[in-house]
């Protein structure tokens, strides 16, 4: 009719069509999937790095303490036992037995210090490096051969030991080149990654040596 304007049934719209919404959602989903994958990968590498650091610290602690104490023992006053990967070492020490001050030396027959106790390092069933000690059965004496080593199963294992390090996977000793005793410590730290549990491990193998004192 004259005077009436022709108006569209559907005025101009500023919204999005259904197809556009679907496209935007698809693109957003791809972006989020990429970000999620990157974050998950980052967390996995972080856990592995932390496991590697833990393995390194435990192996270094174990190796350092064993070598430090073993190198103050006698070439004729130690015993290595066990099976490969699960060995133990028992050796004489000049230090006083606990709870006495370990710096208290004994001199029963002159200027030569006495051997006062036996020290043992071994790996237990919980993969801990354990240190234990007991006084020599014959009392302080400067001659190593006068001391009889304790039995590992009967005398050492019943004692309450002191955990030194965790995650010990292997412990070996090699006295082929006496007075040099090779010490090998291998640690293993397990990690879980992903939404489905997946076992991963961070291994570290350290080797050291202790040079024993003359008899």
Alpha-carbon distance 74 to 40, whole Å?
53
pLDDT beyond 70 at 23: yes
Please state the domain count of the chain.
Answer: 1
More confident residue, 191 or 126: 126
Mean pLDDT to the nearest integer, 26-47: 71
pLDDT beyond 50 at 82: yes
Query: Are 104 and 137 in contact, with CB atoms under 8 Å apart?
Result: no
Q: For residue 19, is it within any domain?
A: no
pLDDT beyond 90 at 123: yes
pLDDT tens-digit readout, 142-193: 999 999 999 999 999 999 999 999 999 999 999 999 899 999 999 988 776 5
Rounded percentage of the chain residues whose pLDDT exceeds 90 = 50
Q: Where are the beta strands (DSSP E) in 35-114?
A: 78-83, 86-93
Q: Which uninterrupted H or E stretch holds 65?
A: helix 18-70
Instruction: Provide the domain limits for residue 65.
Output: 40-211
Q: For residue 126, is it within any domain?
A: yes
Query: Are 70 and 210 in contact, with CB atoms under 8 Å apart?
Result: yes
Indicate the pTM of the whole model: 0.77
Which residue shows structure tokens 């099976």? 83
Q: For residue 59, is it within any domain?
A: yes
Per-residue pLDDT, 198: 39
Q: For residue 121, is it within any domain?
A: yes
Q: For residue 25, is it within any domain?
A: no
Q: For residue 1, is it within any domain?
A: no
Q: For residue 81, is it within any domain?
A: yes
Q: For residue 69, is it within any domain?
A: yes
Tokens of 67: 């070598």
Per-residue pLDDT, 18: 75
């Amino acid at each position: 009719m004259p005077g009436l304007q022709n108006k569209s049934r559907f005025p101009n719209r500023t919204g999005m069509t259904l197809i556009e919404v679907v496209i935007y959602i698809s693109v957003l989903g791809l972006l989020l999937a990429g970000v999620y994958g990157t974050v998950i990968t980052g967390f996995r590498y972080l856990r592995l790095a932390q496991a590697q650091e833990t393995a390194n610290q435990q192996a270094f602690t174990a190796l350092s303490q064993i070598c430090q104490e073993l190198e103050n023992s006698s070439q004729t006053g130690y015993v290595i036992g066990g099976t490969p990967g699960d060995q133990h070492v028992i050796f004489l020490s000049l230090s006083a037995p606990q709870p006495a001050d370990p710096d208290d030396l004994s001199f029963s027959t002159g200027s030569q210090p006495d051997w006062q106790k036996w020290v043992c390092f071994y790996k237990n069933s919980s993969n801990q490096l354990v240190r234990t000690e007991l006084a020599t059965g014959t009392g302080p004496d400067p001659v190593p051969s006068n001391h009889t080593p304790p039995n590992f199963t009967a005398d050492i294992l019943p004692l309450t030991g002191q955990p030194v390090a965790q995650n010990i996977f292997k412990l070996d000793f090699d006295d082929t080149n006496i007075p040099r005793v090779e010490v090998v410590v291998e640690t293993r730290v397990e990690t879980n990654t992903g939404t489905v549990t997946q076992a991963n491990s961070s291994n570290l193998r350290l080797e050291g040596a202790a040079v024993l004192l003359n008899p």
